[in-house]
Amino acid sequence: MSIPKHPDPAKLVVSILTSDRMLVKPVLEKIEQISSPVDLISPWMAFDYTNYYQKEMGTPLFRRMAGFSALIHQGDLCRIKLQTNTIENEFLKGGNRRVNIDPGYLLPSRFILATGKDFAHRVFIGDNIYADLTLIYQKQGFKTLAWTYPDYASEPVLKFLGQVRSKYVLDLKQENAST
């Protein structure tokens, strides 16, 4: 018999994709209102892995990622995804998205993204939202999976997530020491 164990808190990570770099600051401010202050932010990353978003959002596209200071309950990912969808809608122009927000969380062993799209490797977590196991951490680094999107397999993203993981491990030690 397995004995249920309370899940470790996770580090919230959000990726913002846009062609308008000026939108990132107000978008992050809105996300901070539903989470906590940003404690790590990636450099700008060019996004040229697919033309899926170009018609709606324009070109060139850029990605910026952020890790947030407070640790979250893993079960909060569904709620956060729904709230980031609302934020995306606040920035619509002419019915088109100007930002794509991908929330996820990081644990020592993996990186999970939230999505509204079902697929074989995704697990339903409630309210029409699925959890996508995007990367796993093994032997000093994140490893991609057969379904990992190319942009999340890129060196800049993997490097940033490695930095977030290092910060998360410290945050988790502090949290455990205080309880």
Instruction: Give the tens place of pLDDT for each residue, 23-32.
Output: 999 999 999 9
Q: Is 4 inside a domain boundary?
A: no
Q: What is the pTM of this model?
A: 0.95
Q: Is 17 inside a domain boundary?
A: yes
Does residue 18 surpass a pLDDT of 80? yes
Mean pLDDT of the chain: 95
Q: Is 44 inside a domain boundary?
A: yes
Position 162, amino acid = G
The parent domain of residue 134 ranges over 10-178
| Separation CA 129–CA 102 (nearest Å) | 12
- Helix (H/G/I), strand (E/B), else coil: 53: coil
In this structure, what CATH number is given to the domain that contains residue 75?
3.30.70
Q: Is 5 inside a domain boundary?
A: no
How many separate domains does the chain show? 1
Angle between helices 24-34 and 77-90 (to 10 degrees): 140
131-162: pLDDT as tens digits: 999 999 999 899 999 999 999 999 999 999 99
Q: Give the whole-number percent of the chain exceeding pLDDT 70.
A: 99
Q: Is 71 inside a domain boundary?
A: yes
Q: How confident is the model at residue 176 (pLDDT cuts 50, 70, 90)?
A: confident
Q: Is 1 inside a domain boundary?
A: no
Q: Is 48 inside a domain boundary?
A: yes
Q: Is 3 inside a domain boundary?
A: no
